[in-house]
Structure 1
Amino acid sequence: MGNESQNNTIASVIESTRPLRADAERNRQAILVAASRVFAEQGSSVTLEHIADVAGVGIGTVYRRFRTVQGLLGEVFEGKMARYADVAEQAAEHAQTDAARAFGEFIGYMLRQQAENLAFTDAILLPGLGTDRLRADRTRALAATRLLVVRARDAGVIRPDFDESDFYLLQQANAGLLRVSQRSAPNAWKRFGQYMLDAFRHPGSPLEPPSPAWVRASDACEPPGMR
Structure 2
Amino acid sequence: MANDSRTLRADAERNRQSILCAAAAVFAAHGTDVTLETIAREAGVGVGTIYRRFASVEELIGVVFEEKMSLYADRTELAAEQALTEPWAAFRDYVLYILEQQALDLAFSDVIASPNRGTEHFRVQMNRALAASILLVDRAVAAGALRSDFDHSDLYLLTTANAGLIRGTRRSASDAWRRFGEYMLQAFRFRTDGEVLTPPSRVLTRVQQKARTGG
Common fold by TM > 0.5: yes
Residue of structure 1 in register with 2:91 after alignment = 103
Query: What's the CA shift for 1:131?
Result: 1.0
Say whether 1:206 aligns with 2:195.
yes
- Structure 2: how far apart are the matches of 1:194 and 1:79? 28
Alpha-carbon separation, structure 2, partners of 1:195 and 1:120: 22
Q: Structure 2 CA distance, aligned partners of 1:128 and 1:85?
A: 15
Match of 1:3 in 2: none
Distance 1:225 1:178, change over 3 A: same
1:45 is aligned to 2:40: no
Q: Structure 2: which amino acid aligns with 1:184?
A: S
Quick one: which of 172, 175, 178 aligns to 2:160? 172
Cα displacement string for residues 52-100 of structure 1 (whole angstroms, at most 9, x for unaligned residues): 0000000000011111111111111111111111111111111111101
After superposition, where does 1:60-139 map in structure 2 within 5 Å?
60-139=48-127
TM normalised by structure 1 equals: 0.88
- In the aligned structure 1, how far is the partner of 2:91 from the partner of 2:48? 46
Q: Go from structure 1 to structure 2 and tell me whether the alpha carbon gap of 1:134 and 1:99 turns closer, same or farther (over 3 Å shift).
A: same
Which residue of 2 is the match for residue 160 of structure 1?
Answer: 148
Structure 1 residue 16, shift from structure 2 partner: 2.2
* Partner residue, 2:210: 226
Larger radius of gyration: 1
**Structure 1, gaps ≥5 residues long:** 1-11
Question: What is the TM-score of this pair, normalised by structure 2?
Answer: 0.93
For the 8 Å contact 2:153–2:199, the answer to whether it is kept is yes
Give deviations 1:154-204, integer Å, cap 9, x for gaps. Answer: 111111111111111111111111111111110000011001100000112
Q: Which residue matches 1:32?
A: 20
Structure 2 unaligned blocks of 5 or more: none
After TM superposition, list the pairs within 5 Å mapping 1:7-18 onto structure 2: 12=1, 14-18=2-6
1:187 to 156, 171, 175: 175
1:61 partner letter: T
What count of residue pairs does the alignment treat as equivalent?
A: 210
CA RMSD of aligned residues (A): 1.4
Q: How far does residue 153 in structure 1 lie from its aligned partner after superposition?
A: 0.4
Q: Distance in 2 between matches of 1:226 and 1:125?
A: 20
Question: What whole-Å deviation, never above 9, does each CA across 1:109-165 have from its counterpart, x for those lacking one?
Answer: 011111110001122121321111111111111111100001100111111111111
Report percent identity of matched pairs. Answer: 52
Quote the offset at 1:15 in angstroms.
2.9
Instruction: Report the CA distance shift for 1:90/1:38 in structure 2 as closer, same or farther (over 3 A).
Output: same
